[in-house]
Amino acid sequence: MSEAHKITLATAWLDGCSGCHMSFLDLDQRLIELAEKVDVVYSPIVDTKELPPVVDVGILEGAVSTEEDLHKARMFRGRCQFLISLGDCAVSGNVPSMRNTFDLDDVLDRAFVENVQAQPGRPSESLPTLLRTVLPIHHVVQVDLFVQGCPPSADTIWQVLTELMAGNTPDPTQFTRFGA
């Protein structure tokens, strides 16, 4: 990547706790330095609603649990020249994939019928269409870089981004691991 232009960056979270984005915000003062080199064009932390047709770097956190997650992962892959799978949920499915050992109908009944005292029953609206199996991102689209951690620390995210801005491909295994 050239330093002659600002790198465009897009982020999104799929099924997860958003802890990876919280770590991103924990960059604190480094966000100012980052803003000098990077233009965040789409993210839940900025006020943009449309993913541009071409983005230099995309970062996805969370697992693929719904049809909407699947659509967003495919859209990021199609539009981002370099795609990062950020965090243990994105890399392995982690906590969201714990439902994979149960039948989906049993999970829905447990959540909306068995454990509800007032008006038990599955909602007919506003419930995203769940996939039968929760998947890590690389099971649905090609990923260029995996950054483990739950969540990865701000220092890890900084090291990854600064290496990319320098035109290098970072090796996150040198400074993070699963569960870190």
**Sign of the dihedral through C-alpha 170, 35, 77, 5:** negative
pLDDT in the model for residue 177: 87
- Between CA 1 and CA 162 the distance in angstroms is 11
At the topology level, CATH places domain 7-174 in Rossmann fold (3.40.50)
- Between CA 42 and CA 75 the distance in angstroms is 12
- Provide, rounded to the nearest whole percent, the portion of the chain with pLDDT above 90: 87
DSSP string covering 36-104: HHEEEEE-TTTT--S--S-EEEEEEESBEEEHHHHHHHHHHHHHEEEEEEESHHHHH-TGGGGGGGS-H
Higher pLDDT among residues 49 and 134, named by residue? 134
pLDDT surpasses 90 at 48: no
Closest CA to 134 of 3, 47, 24, 15: 15
pLDDT surpasses 60 at 2: no
pLDDT in the model for residue 124: 82
pLDDT in the model for residue 3: 45
Tokens of 30: 């480094």
49-58, 60-69, 144-153, 165-174, range with the lowest pLDDT: 165-174
Burial class (CB in 10 A: 0-12, 13-18, 19+), 114: exposed
pTM: 0.92
Compute how many other C-beta atoms are within 10 angstroms of the C-beta atom of residue 156. Answer: 22
- Between CA 91 and CA 35 the distance in angstroms is 27
Condensed to tens digits (0 to 9), the pLDDT of residues 73-108 reads: 999 999 999 999 999 999 999 999 999 999 999 999
Domain limits, the chain = 7-174
